[in-house]
Amino acid sequence: MAEERLQKILAGAGIASRRKAEEIILEGRVTVNGKVVTELGTKADLEVDHVKVDGRLLRQPEKHVYIALYKPDSVVTTASDPQGRATVLDLLHGVKARVFPVGRLDYHSEGLLILTNDGDFANAITSAKSHVPKTYYVKIKGVLTPEAEEKFRTGIPLSGKRTAPAGLRMIRKGDNPWYEVRLIEGRNQQIRIMFKHLGHLVEKLRRVKIGPLEVGKLKPGEFRHLLPIEVAALMAAVHESPGTKEGTTLERPPKRASVANRRAQPKKTVKKGIESGTGKKRPKKR
């Protein structure tokens, strides 16, 4: 087995996603052949090197595991919590494989969450370059104005960077309506902050879809193992660009041609009773 970067080794062993693995390395929790390593560029080979995390020797997982979980409200999307709160791993009764969550859901958010021990899969799904869309049902206080809806769709400045185009449509009317929101990025508490920026607080937030995978009939706290065809569909979604999937609301309207481009377009000319480009004679006037 060839040498690989430590963060990839940790992810492949089911310790955490690559991003989280980098944090673990920087915290000095990883040793290679008995020496603490804190440099992210360090490489190792599990077949010849002894790599440990928090004193535990790493081994490559025998089989990759993929799980869909309905995360309830008031559960933390981490492997452990310093405050002693319930974590998503506490819900996986009977699962022996060491898995970690792919991405996150806020403490008071609920819905679909994927867990796995496949680091490459997790990295592909969460990478900003993949643009795998996530769909949410969101209940807010008050109704958005048409102007606010347009701002939500086209992008809102957050921490000095505008959000990517988002899908938005009302799915249940009322004084406190429900909206369907589709994002291709996942900044921390992004949906709550976007609505707050527009003057509305989020009452409930539920993720119902990740790429082609739907939460389906799962109830809060329930989970199931993904079928191979579902894993393949998720990986296929990584290579699709936003706006190509059926029903997407992320497409932007086509840009109008600039004045210069319009002027550059060939004009129809008429010479000697023949319309240019048609090859047909104009009928004579009588």
pLDDT digits (tens, 9 = 90+) for 86-117: 999 999 999 988 899 998 899 999 999 999 99
Q: Which of 49, 73, 81, 106 is catalytic?
A: 106
pTM: 0.70
pLDDT score of 246 more than 50: no
Report how far residue 251's alpha carbon sits from residue 235's, in angstroms, rounded to the nearest whole number. 22
Q: Is the domain of 26 the same as that of 86? A: no
pLDDT of residue 62: 67
- Residue 206 belongs to some domain of the structure: yes
What CATH number is attached to the domain comprising 142?
3.30.70.1560
Dihedral angle of Cα 87, 93, 217, 102, to the nearest 10 degrees: 50
Q: Is the domain of 113 the same as that of 22? A: no
- In Å, how far are 6, 27, 96 from 37, measured between CA atoms? 9, 9, 28
Helix (H, G, I), strand (E, B) or coil at 214: strand
Which of 17-26, 137-146, 150-159, 199-208 shows the lowest mean pLDDT across its residues? 17-26
Chain segment 202-227, per-residue pLDDT in tens: 999 999 999 999 999 999 999 999 99
| Structural domains in the chain (count) | 3
Provide, rounded to the nearest whole percent, the portion of the chain with pLDDT above 90. 58
Chain segment 60-72, per-residue pLDDT in tens: 766 899 999 999 9
- Residue 256 belongs to some domain of the structure: no
pLDDT score of 242 more than 90: no
| Annotated catalytic residue 175 | no
Mean pLDDT of the chain: 83
Q: Is the domain of 109 the same as that of 223? A: yes
Q: Which of 144, 113, 282, 129 is nearest to 214 (CA)?
A: 113
Q: Which domain holds residue 24?
A: 4-57
pLDDT of residue 185: 87
Q: Is the domain of 120 the same as that of 152? A: no
Joined together, the tokens standing for residue 47 give: 């077949």
Please name the residues in contact with 98: beta carbons below 8 A apart, sequence gap of 6 or more: 13, 14, 15, 61, 117
- Residue 271 belongs to some domain of the structure: no
pLDDT of residue 1: 57
- Residue 122 belongs to some domain of the structure: yes
The CA-CA-CA angle for residues 221, 136, 18, to 5°, reads: 70
